[in-house]
Amino acid sequence: MPKPRPIRVLIAKPGLDGHDVGAKVVVQRLRNAGMEVLYSGLRQSTEKIISAAVQEDVDVIGLSILSGSHLELTQELMAQMREKEITDVLVLVGGIIPREDIPLLQAQGVDGIFPVHSPLEEIEKFIREQVPRKRGEMLPEKGPEK
């Protein structure tokens, strides 16, 4: 039985929003928790985020959006993921998210929504619990052993 590889996460900043302090806090927390975490840098297109996610074989895409464009950007990303038939990647959205938008994001297919000031331990716990479910327990086979 191969040892499961660490959970791999891409934290990404789609659109024009430059507020990435929260994204970088999440990156560091998840790294400290033993995950492999990539940070996209600013102003990424959803196409680029998906191709990076595929190339790096990540288990989780975390979008950070504080510009008010979360509904549009997330919808775009989810549509492109469906088109590419990517179903085993957990999608999280964080940032300035009004409460009433949470069900709208869920309806788009987002797995977890973490508005600003969400406790970091909740994000970490959610990823640990949900990644295996999303993958159908296929985690060890997905990537090379590290």
Binding region for other proteins (CB under 8 A): 15-21, 24-25, 27-29, 39, 41-43, 45, 67-69, 72-73, 96, 98-100, 115-117, 119-121
Q: State the first-to-last Cα distance of the chain, in angstroms, to the nearest integer.
A: 14
In the bound state with other proteins, the residue whose beta carbon lies nearer, of 82 and 125, is 125
In the complex, the smallest distance separating the C-beta of residue 68 from other proteins, rounded to whole angstroms, is: 5
Distance in angstroms (rounded) separating the CA atoms of residues 37 and 35: 6
Nearer to other proteins, 38 or 142 (CB): 38
User: In whole angstroms, how close is the CB of 94 to other proteins at the nearest point?
Assistant: 12
Three-state DSSP at 2 gives coil
Residues 27 and 121 sit within 8 Å (Cβ to Cβ): no
* Contact present, 117 and 25 (Cβ < 8 Å): no
Choose between 5 and 19: whose C-beta lies nearer to other proteins.
19
Taking the least distance from each CB to other proteins, the nearer of 56 and 121 is 121
DSSP β-ladder status, 8-12 and 60-65: parallel
- Confirm if 95 and 68 have CB atoms less than 8 A apart: no
Closest distance of CB 1 from other proteins, Å: 34
Tokens 């990644």, located at residue: 131
